[in-house]
Structure 1
Amino acid sequence: MKTMYNRRETLKLSLLAGIGLSLYSFMPSDRKIFKRIIPSTGEELPVVGLGTWQTFDVGNNEEQRKVLSQVLYEMYRMGGTVIDSSPMYGSSEKVVGDLTSKQDFGNKLFYATKVWISGEQAGIRQMDASFQKMQRNKMDLIQIHNLVDWQTHVKTLKAWKEQQKIRYWGITHYVDSSHSTLEKIIKAERPDFVQFNYSIRSRHAENSLFETAEKYGTATIINQPYESGSLFRLTRGKVLPEWAKEQDINSWGQYFLKFILSNKNVGCVIPGTSKPHHMIDNMSAGLGKIPDSNTRNKMLSYLKSL
């Protein structure tokens, strides 16, 4: 018998007749998501993190901030550390800084943001502002957002890494047409990280970008894992295959994320959410089995059949 799991249903289950227990409250506290290596240092990074585009742009809304604090807690409770933001994301950087500064695990997180402006001095001012908003004396990762004036910012970021103001630097984009440029920069400048789009239906990065990143020791961060929500629209009302449970897949969100993580060259995937139960669901993709090549093919075939 097939069972349908979607994000609305998991929310209903999590309420458990109104007593407010977490869907995964039975999960052993020592069960944490797995990690992968950052090639340039050998440091381990949890494979699922948190993007903040739109979801953390809540300004001073206290009610929404309380919910987002719970999102951060659930991420950390399950072993996650990576928070990715940008000055492009409205108030997200400041919200992240305000909320994490009040958490006892705030200094244990991996903070990533971006520079998104042209000009050397303008870039320095923007990045300094990000430090202030996120309340960091040292940033784990700063990335050049969508390659805006990348030739200029590379020089600053390399100098800042040498000065130990940042730990890592990287480059980002979110469309297939940028992949060849990302590869050229990886080969020429050897960034620590590259962030780009990849999903079960959008696999252009498999052509050569993943291979280039692996060859030159660049860690990968994946954005657009749900294709801006279109994967959930595609599967709304659809049932998971009967074999999904055997692969520790209990929702469509986990289906999509586990497919991404089954690529050994994926370092970390950063789906965005403003809902604690979605955060739990996302993090759970890093638990249990990771699909092998045969299961990946089954996952692709089943999705195409819907």
Structure 2
Amino acid sequence: MPVSRRAVIAAATLAPLAARLGHAAEPLIRRPIPSTGEMLPAIGIGTSRRYEVEPVPDKVAPLKEAVQAFVSRGGTVIDTAPSYGTAEDVLGVILAAAGLREKIFLASKVDTTGHDQTLAEFERSLKRMRVDAIDLVAVHNLIDVNDNLAVLRDLKSRKRIRYVGVTVWRDDQLEALEAVMKRETLDFIQVNYAIDNRAAAERVLPLAADRGVAVMTNVPFGRDRLFKAVQGRELPSVAKDLGCASWPQFFLKYVLGNPAVTCPIPGMAKAAYVEDNLGAARGKLPDAAQRKQMETFIDAV
């Protein structure tokens, strides 16, 4: 991750070592997929950018280490897409490790048009990731959403995927997302949501709760925008009240403080970042008053 993240982690006021070790021993918070009740750990890995490397051993090694650390600490959710460069190929190398695929809730997407082209893209994803089925496939950025949802539902009926969803990542897509959510039965949505980008909380997240739709949230650090904003600053008192040991935990605990959110998916390309980010899914989450304090702090920086 960029230097800005390393800098803010180093500058943050960290909890005492003994407290951090005790905190790490706590189980991860888990949240249900409303359509089935299946429980998911409340932090996942997003592979956009970070996993778009050449799928060769020396490039894949640190990413494999990160995924293995993630799984060993109770994580399961990994999200990718055919459009993320080589990310699916890299995951294929990583998931080939003995016993690893069975421990992963694997999510990908379709982002082409036309029935045959979408099926072909799905088959390519299976081949690239070296898997026989994918847990969740979503229509990426609402592309050809009606026809692609029909293809995905057929794949679900044939048990080639288990869940169907749609994704967006920009505020100007939220109105269209809301319309799809109102007319379609979905297992998941994926939407952009962060402490300094709260538009999804106005209507989309409440609608997901009303409709019984699981929510993955992307860009929870605002493409590192948040790290740059807080660089050189100490964690506020509300962070310490919540047991946050770093700024990433502060940002992620805010997102998880919204009960409609099932699972944020920050990029995690190093085992150290896995350990840090998963800390947000342990211990206390902010209540409404604490979330307001967190918003006020960030809005002022």
Query: Structure 1 residues 11, 91: closer, same or farther in 2, change over 3 A?
Result: farther
Structure 1 vs Structure 2 CA RMSD: 2.3
Query: Structure 1 residues 55, 24: closer, same or farther in 2, change over 3 A?
Result: farther
Within the candidate set 207, 212, 225, 1:212 is matched to 207
The residue number in structure 2 matching 1:176 is 171
Contact kept? 1:67, 1:275, Cα under 8 Å:
yes
Instruction: Please tell me the residue identity of whatever aligns with 1:285.
Output: A
Question: What is the rounded CA distance, in whole Å, between the counterparts of 2:292 and 2:112 in structure 1?
Answer: 41
Contact kept? 2:26, 2:283, Cα under 8 Å:
no
The residue number in structure 1 matching 2:233 is 238
Aligned residues: 294
Structure 1 residue 30: Cα displacement: 5.3
* TM-score normalised by structure 2 residue count: 0.92
Within the candidate set 16, 36, 41, 2:36 is matched to 41
Contact kept? 1:195, 1:223, Cα under 8 Å:
yes
- Does 2:258 correspond to 1:252? no
Structure 1 residue 31: Cα displacement: 2.7
Structure 1 residue 214: Cα displacement: 1.3
- Does 2:127 correspond to 1:128? no
Contact kept? 1:23, 1:277, Cα under 8 Å:
no
Structure 1 residue 76: Cα displacement: 1.1
Contact kept? 1:7, 1:251, Cα under 8 Å:
no
Structure 1 residue 239: Cα displacement: 0.9
- Does 2:151 correspond to 1:156? yes
Query: Structure 1 residues 230, 211: closer, same or farther in 2, change over 3 A?
Result: same
- Does 2:278 correspond to 1:283? yes
1:229-248 superposed Cα distances (whole Å, 9 cap, x missing partner) = 10001011111113422211
The residue number in structure 1 matching 2:132 is 137
- Does 2:295 correspond to 1:268? no
- Does 2:88 correspond to 1:93? yes
Query: Structure 1 residues 29, 277: closer, same or farther in 2, change over 3 A?
Result: closer
The residue number in structure 1 matching 2:290 is 295
Instruction: Please tell me the residue identity of whatever aligns with 1:281.
Output: D
Contact kept? 2:30, 2:39, Cα under 8 Å:
yes
Q: Any stretches of 5+ residues in structure 1 without a counterpart?
A: 14-21
Question: What is the rounded CA distance, in whole Å, between the counterparts of 2:24 and 2:244 in structure 1?
Answer: 20
The residue number in structure 1 matching 2:181 is 186
1:202-244 superposed Cα distances (whole Å, 9 cap, x missing partner) = 1111111111111111110000111111000101111111342
Instruction: Please tell me the residue identity of whatever aligns with 2:101.
Output: G
Query: Structure 1 residues 130, 198: closer, same or farther in 2, change over 3 A?
Result: same
The residue number in structure 2 matching 1:222 is 217
- Does 2:59 correspond to 1:59? no
Question: What is the rounded CA distance, in whole Å, between the counterparts of 2:95 and 2:22 in structure 1?
Answer: 24
Question: What is the rounded CA distance, in whole Å, between the counterparts of 1:12 and 1:293 in structure 2?
Answer: 27
Structure 1 residue 277: Cα displacement: 1.0
Instruction: Please tell me the residue identity of whatever aligns with 1:43.
Output: E
Query: Structure 1 residues 137, 25: closer, same or farther in 2, change over 3 A?
Result: farther
1:126-177 superposed Cα distances (whole Å, 9 cap, x missing partner) = 0111011112212100011111111111111111111111100100010111
Contact kept? 2:24, 2:279, Cα under 8 Å:
no
1:98-125 superposed Cα distances (whole Å, 9 cap, x missing partner) = 1122143321110000001111111100
More deviation in 283-292 or 209-218?
Answer: 209-218
Contact kept? 2:11, 2:232, Cα under 8 Å:
no
What SS does the corresponding residue of 1:228 show, helix, strand or coil?
A: coil
* TM-score normalised by structure 1 residue count: 0.90
Question: What is the rounded CA distance, in whole Å, between the counterparts of 1:11 and 1:100 in structure 2?
Answer: 32
What SS does the corresponding residue of 2:223 show, helix, strand or coil?
A: helix
Query: Structure 1 residues 86, 31: closer, same or farther in 2, change over 3 A?
Result: same
Within the candidate set 98, 116, 119, 2:114 is matched to 119
